[in-house]
């Protein structure tokens, strides 16, 4: 699996901001999703005392949620730690991990933001646009926006709003558990995005895509240390 849009990664902060704004115009906010048989999760782990990153891509069967393929890749940090520009740090190793996969996912769930981002172009949007694959942003924490707490039952949602624009949904995946933040990445509507996240989180707060990718990247990190 290779990107269809290529751009340099050794950019200044200003260049990265300009590129974000340019690529944000390519985000498709409506459903262009074929039948989803394979769904992928991604994660990136950082080494605290050096510049090494390890990325994981995990593909699950969309019905059974069983793992069908995993890939990991190691890289070095190419971009500084700047809030709102995390995709420029995390995508290079993720691209390497995707290149190792034999299968192509029909949908990718990112542990991070999509449209729920100051420039409406979080990691899920960036990944979706350069690969032209449907993607969903699913964050554990809120980056921005205001909302009213959703009902305490599983499946309850509330709109996440920034400057009078709905940028995502606050979704309760399990009853009486903290909600998560779902937003469009690319080629998917917000309604379809939160329906998929709920389906992918039958037992736990986080979707299985995120949980499995986190476990794979942690294991890879331990092995490489």
- Fold of the domain built from segment(s) 29-224: archaeoglobus fulgidus dsm 4304 fold (3.30.2170)
If you average pLDDT over every residue of the chain, what do you get?
Answer: 95
Tokens of 45: 């782990």
Q: What is the pLDDT of residue 218?
A: 86
CA separation for the pair 207, 60 (Å, rounded): 11
Burial label, 8 (beta-carbon count in 10 A; 0-12, 13-18, 19+): exposed
CA separation for the pair 56, 73 (Å, rounded): 7
Of 114, 149, 134, 160, residue with least CA distance to 32: 134
Of 180, 177, 105, 171, residue with least CA distance to 135: 105
Q: What is the pLDDT of residue 176?
A: 97
Region of poorest pLDDT, from 45-54, 90-99, 130-139, 190-199? 45-54
- Global confidence as pTM: 0.95
Q: What is the pLDDT of residue 224?
A: 58
| Residue 20, SS3 per DSSP | helix
According to DSSP, residue 124 is labeled H
* Domain edges within the chain: 29-224
Distance set, CA 171 to CA 40, 90, 166 (Å): 20, 25, 14
Q: What percent of the chain has pLDDT over 70?
A: 98
pLDDT tens figures, 58-72: 999 999 999 999 999
Burial label, 3 (beta-carbon count in 10 A; 0-12, 13-18, 19+): middle
Given a cut of 80, whether residue 223 has pLDDT beyond it is: no
Between 76 and 67, residue with greater pLDDT = 67
Q: Are 78 and 9 in contact (CB under 8 A)?
A: yes
Given a cut of 60, whether residue 225 has pLDDT beyond it is: no
């Amino acid at each position: 699996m290779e990107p269809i849009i290529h751009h340099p990664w050794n950019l200044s902060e200003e260049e990265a901001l300009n590129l974000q704004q340019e690529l944000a115009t390519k985000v498709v906010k409506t459903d262009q999703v074929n039948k989803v048989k394979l769904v992928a999760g991604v994660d990136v782990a950082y080494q605290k005392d050096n510049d090494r990153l390890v990325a994981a891509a995990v593909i699950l069967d969309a019905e059974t949620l069983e793992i069908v393929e995993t890939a990991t890749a190691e890289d070095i940090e190419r971009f500084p730690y700047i809030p709102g520009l995390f995709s420029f740090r995390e995508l290079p190793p993720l691209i390497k991990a995707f290149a190792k996969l034999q299968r192509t996912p029909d949908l990718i769930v990112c542990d991070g933001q999509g449209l729920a981002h100051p420039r409406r172009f979080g990691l899920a949007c960036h990944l979706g646009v350069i690969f032209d694959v449907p993607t969903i942003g699913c964050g554990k924490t809120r980056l921005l926006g205001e909302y009213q707490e959703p009902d305490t039952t599983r499946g309850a949602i509330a709109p996440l709003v920034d400057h009078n624009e709905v940028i995502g949904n606050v979704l309760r995946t399990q009853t009486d558990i903290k909600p998560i933040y779902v937003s469009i990445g690319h080629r998917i509507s917000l309604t379809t995005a939160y329906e998929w996240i709920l389906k992918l989180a039958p037992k736990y707060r986080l979707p299985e895509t995120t949980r499995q990718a986190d476990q794979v990247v942690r294991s890879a990190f331990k092995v490489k240390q």
